[in-house]
Structure 1
Amino acid sequence: MTHPVDEVPPAGKLLSLGLQHVLAMYAGAVAVPLIVGSALHLSSADLAYLISADLLISGIATLIQCIGVWRFGVRLPLMQGCTFAAVTPMVLIGTTGGGIRAVYGAVIVSGVGMILLAPLFGRLLRFFPPLVTGTVITIIGLSLLPVAANWAAGGQGTPGFGKPANLALALGVLVLILLIQRFAPGFWSRIAVLLGIVIGAVVGIPLGFTNFSSVSEVGLFGVSTPFHFGLPTFQLAAILSMLVVMLVTMTETTGDILAVGEIARKPVDRRVLADGLRADGLSTVLGGIFNTFPYTAFAQNVGLVGLTRVRSRYVVAVGGGFLVLLGLIRPLGETVAAIPAPVLGGAGVVMFGTVAAYGIKMLAKASLTGNNLLLVAISLGVGLAPTVVPTLYQQFPGWFQVIAGSGISAGCVVAVLLNLLFNHLPSGRGREPEREITGDTSAISSPAQPG
């Protein structure tokens, strides 16, 4: 029988579900080129060029990841976009004398490094049992919830941030998605997020939130050409900082791949993981060539797969096709960009919360007693600390901020190391080994068990 991951839904469902994935990730996809381009004081025309290039390569990266080309691609429903982990290092590289050409040189080298190291990361899969994976996925979901909250308030730094009207629109979208999910029949409940976003954007027109005036002001086509800003330069310091980012990105992508494998009920082995990481590396190399940045899986779309219960990779591949069109046909991109941030915020609460819920579901497969309970507690604390206090590590060196400043990566590293300490080293074996929960609840009974 065909696995649900490999099923191809009818054309109508493919298009609507694929568009839903695009709307869910669009704001995050264009945020990185906007932040980096603004920090490098690029012109408005160059900013628009960066966004078009980003959307085009995001679509190509998604197609590579979902469809697969030889040993490149995890062949699971994963949507790709620029990683936020690379923003700070790229801004530092671009503003301290290297310029944007040094950024792209470092991006290309880091992508090659990801391709070469992918098999090694695949061999580390045994160090990601449900205890570690569930912890990491929970951290991913909880770390992204502040992003949804910022969107709901209108977007960090925008005039009127936090106005009651912004939060009311976000709440309305959230409630609408819940009502559609609960009461709409069959297929309509599966596109609850899409309907919520579209209806929210339409309602925002008379309220002054949605403005499509920019759609008619742009040209019809925008084609990205290789090395638009000049040939890349290769500076050692820039390359080393981006290689650190590459390790962080590979760690985050590993968590996303394991999460979507769990949701899709298609276990990920080390070869599949290596194929997915190798695809990230190839997409990052393409990003450096076509004037954009490193790529990774987007967690909000992982949550959307769990929310809709549609596990077909071809649905997400169609979303990748939409991204390619958005990158080439400028009015389409401007139309999607006009969706108000509060609308995305209401949908983001649902999607990011779903990611965290799946992490908790995976933790239910592990025995949370003794050392294992301590592992989860410390990992969550370390992972959420920079999310709660974003300036926590601002006095530390840049390389340390790259690793510890990403709560997802920091929490993942701590979870893996504590799992090695408690469950793999000889001194830890035999005391508190991780046990899979079965129908016999005696396996989890312990004086240390809460409640």
Structure 2
Amino acid sequence: MPDPWEMTASTSAASRKRGHPVDEVLPVPKLALYGFQHVVAFYAGAVLVPIIIAGAIDLPQEQLVQLITADLFTCGIASIIQAVGIWKIGVRLPLLQGVTFAGVAPIIAIGLAHGGGAASLLYVYGAVIVAGIFTFLIAPIFVKLLRFFPPVVTGTLITIIGLCLVPVGALDAVTNPTTHEPDPTNIRWFLYALGTIAIIVAIQRIFRGFMATIAVLLGLVIGCVVAFALGDMNFDRVGEASAFGFTPPFVFGMPKFDFVACLTMIIVLLITAVESTGSTIATGEIVGKRVKASDIGNVLRADGVATTIGGIFNSFPYTAFSENVGLVRLTGVKSRWVVAAAGVIMIVLGFLPKVAAIVASIPNPVLGGAALTLFATVAVVGIQTLGKVDFTDHRNLIIVTTSLALALWVTSYPDIAKAMPTGLDLIFGSGISIGAVTAIVLNIVFFHTGSRGPRVAGGGSITLDEVNSMSEERFTEVFGHVVQDVPWAVRRAYSQRPFATTRDLREAFQDAVLTGSSEEQSELLNAFHDLGAEDETGTALAVDHVALSNLDDSDHDDVVQLAAAYRDHFGFPLIICARETEHFDRVLRNGWSRMDNSPAAERAFALIEVEKIANYRFEDLVADANPIAAARFSRLNELQ
């Protein structure tokens, strides 16, 4: 007979709710230590934003101190809201919030468009508050808007942000730290900036782990020590600053609202919403917690609330800091209460003006060197995102090149804005603003409009309703290329309509290929061109990707030789899904290695390659058919 005490213990254990490491409340000493570690990794990036903005719109140092304390105070509140959560606000993951770099250039543009100085900040804060409220309101439906921000848009915008910010850092790098005037002919300032960059690079090269994550902070500290030793840095203002103080709401006055400024800031918040979505998914994977669509809504509500608070408390738009997402992976500390502890530390720092005054004393060239590396890093992140884009599609190429061209044009010659009508002048006053508007509009024009229905960037344009209403003739005309224009395969797929989902449509083609008779499959295989075959103009016929495009004579001969040997051996053309390769060398290695297969095994292998090619062609035609996006965002499709 079971022991009743054991039964009671077992029942108690079973009824006890299992806790996730994310929700673990660590001892106070550990919370403080790990929280401080987050603050250290975050600090340089956090305070750079108000410093850069203050320098660009010509704020005096005492007002810069107010911006820094306000920034730290609001960062702390934002991080606590995101990590702890209130109602449906906050994702309850270890996401530390900070001012987004995406807002720097637009904020500077808004400030300069309204005369600079503290008075211009009123228009900035008006736009920040409106954008924060907008983000909060669209949070429940934002996942549905992600299709308007594919990699071709986000990658372009992030690249533009980085490139447009580089001149801001470059100006600081040649600015006299005493007079705060540009002095590009003085080699001393150049050496300060270059030395700071060299220190950051050296730390990244020598150290790993946590030390590498604070390379920028260490570069600033060492640069300041050198500048102080050489007499180019002083702490006079630190002595004048109060030991304890608080920057009250609307310290510069009540906010003012400008339509174009608000629209610009809303675009910035949409960009950061995409970034926040990515950071949330990445953090969920790191800590092993499933991220649902409702979680994304909670993240964005917290971003919206934090941004609105930022506008009230003299700060700027907020988003998750990717550096601290990396720190969670690096340390393995998954508790969200650690980030909450970091938030408390930042709030405390926000009440210490002397700390802010020390930061405000950083010499311009040292700050400029660090800023150059940070802004260039932002541009590289954008380039990495653009690496996911298929540039063989000329539409993507036009979106990126046009947006970059306009953004860099306006960045190089900002006076162009003076030629614009009132309202438009603000959009053309910032490279980021005009680049963002251009990328978003062109993506909609090329991929979401047209007589064939809504389009999805990176995917196709044909909607399921259109497919189901097609005649067999029209269906064959549109989808024949998917299966190399082989009639029996198209007819077999067509016979399975109507299609309830795009997945059913895709499976119709897959089933058609794999269920064909031996003779039908032979016909399908032989419908493909030999690798290296060309038409009368010299254009390659067997190309579904750039890997086999524009080969020189030697490389082309190698491909032709392989194709001929393969056909002689197996009796049908070598079929390789070239879209999954980065260079034709892999095509060659793949093809020659398959020569060792048995005829039956190679026939099956070839049919699998046909399926892959058909899948990619299918994505090129059908809206919402991209399997990569579907896999990445499958957890977000729970909006009901």
Residues 36, 3 of structure 1: alpha-carbon distance in 2 compared, 3 angstrom cutoff: farther
Partner of residue 139, structure 1: 160
Partner of residue 545, structure 2: 443
- Post-superposition shift, 1:328? 0.5
Partner of residue 194, structure 1: 217
Query: 2: distance between equivalents of 1:448 and 1:268?
Result: 43
Q: Match for 1:413 among 437, 448, 455?
A: 437
- Post-superposition shift, 1:244? 2.4
Using the size of structure 1 for normalisation, the TM-score is: 0.77
For the Cα contact (< 8 Å) 1:211–1:338, is it kept in 2? Answer: yes
For the Cα contact (< 8 Å) 1:303–1:352, is it kept in 2? Answer: no
Residue identity in the other structure for 2:50: A
Partner of residue 403, structure 1: 427
Residues 187, 339 of structure 1: alpha-carbon distance in 2 compared, 3 angstrom cutoff: same
Residues 239, 151 of structure 1: alpha-carbon distance in 2 compared, 3 angstrom cutoff: closer
Query: 1: distance between equivalents of 2:393 and 2:317?
Result: 38
- Post-superposition shift, 1:205? 0.7
Q: Which moved more, 1:210-219 or 1:66-75?
A: 66-75
Q: Match for 2:170 among 136, 144, 149?
A: 149
Number of aligned residue pairs: 435
Q: SS of 1:393's equivalent?
A: helix
- Post-superposition shift, 1:214? 2.0
Partner of residue 393, structure 1: 417
- Post-superposition shift, 1:255? 5.1
For the Cα contact (< 8 Å) 1:111–1:283, is it kept in 2? Answer: yes
Partner of residue 562, structure 2: none
Residue identity in the other structure for 1:425: T
Q: CA RMSD in A?
A: 4.5
Q: Match for 2:240 among 217, 242, 253?
A: 217
Q: SS of 1:328's equivalent?
A: coil
Residues 191, 139 of structure 1: alpha-carbon distance in 2 compared, 3 angstrom cutoff: same
Partner of residue 285, structure 1: 308
Query: 1: distance between equivalents of 2:317 and 2:455?
Result: 41
Q: Which moved more, 1:414-423 or 1:309-318?
A: 309-318
Residue identity in the other structure for 2:317: Y
For the Cα contact (< 8 Å) 1:110–1:242, is it kept in 2? Answer: no
Q: Trace 1:304-383 onto structure 2 (pairs within 5 A).
A: 310=330, 320-371=343-394, 372-383=396-407
Give the % identical residues.
35
For the Cα contact (< 8 Å) 1:386–1:405, is it kept in 2? Answer: yes
Partner of residue 253, structure 1: 272
Residues 47, 153 of structure 1: alpha-carbon distance in 2 compared, 3 angstrom cutoff: closer
Q: Which moved more, 1:393-402 or 1:239-248?
A: 239-248
Q: Match for 2:262 among 243, 248, 251?
A: 243
Residues 109, 414 of structure 1: alpha-carbon distance in 2 compared, 3 angstrom cutoff: closer
Does residue 61 of structure 1 match 2:78? yes
Task: State the Cα deviation string for residues 280-312 of structure 1 (Å, max 9, x = none).
Answer: 43234324544x1542449xx547867997597
Query: 2: distance between equivalents of 1:353 and 1:307?
Result: 21
Query: 1: distance between equivalents of 2:338 and 2:426?
Result: 33
Using the size of structure 2 for normalisation, the TM-score is: 0.56
For the Cα contact (< 8 Å) 2:146–2:274, is it kept in 1? Answer: no
Residue identity in the other structure for 2:366: V
Residues 259, 112 of structure 1: alpha-carbon distance in 2 compared, 3 angstrom cutoff: closer
Q: SS of 1:79's equivalent?
A: strand
Larger radius of gyration: 2
Q: Match for 1:158 among 156, 180, 189?
A: 180
Larger RCO (CA within 8 A; separation ≥ 6): 1
Partner of residue 127, structure 1: 148
Residues 158, 86 of structure 1: alpha-carbon distance in 2 compared, 3 angstrom cutoff: same
Residue identity in the other structure for 1:390: P
For the Cα contact (< 8 Å) 1:113–1:243, is it kept in 2? Answer: no
Residues 294, 350 of structure 1: alpha-carbon distance in 2 compared, 3 angstrom cutoff: closer
- Post-superposition shift, 1:329? 1.0
Query: 2: distance between equivalents of 1:190 and 1:102?
Result: 35
Q: Trace 1:39-50 onto structure 2 (pairs within 5 A).
A: 49=66
Task: State the Cα deviation string for residues 47-68 of structure 1 (Å, max 9, x = none).
Answer: 7545533442243234434554
Residue identity in the other structure for 1:112: I
Task: State the Cα deviation string for residues 15-51 of structure 1 (Å, max 9, x = none).
Answer: 245223212331322454676684xxxx986675455
Query: 1: distance between equivalents of 2:127 and 2:206?
Result: 50
Query: 1: distance between equivalents of 2:345 and 2:130?
Result: 28
Task: State the Cα deviation string for residues 164-215 of structure 1 (Å, max 9, x = none).
Answer: 1111111111111111111224432332222212111111111223212222
For the Cα contact (< 8 Å) 2:73–2:346, is it kept in 1? Answer: yes
Query: 2: distance between equivalents of 1:295 and 1:58?
Result: 10
Q: Which moved more, 1:396-405 or 1:188-197?
A: 396-405
Query: 2: distance between equivalents of 1:334 and 1:216?
Result: 9
Does residue 23 of structure 1 match 2:14? no
Query: 2: distance between equivalents of 1:7 and 1:128?
Result: 37
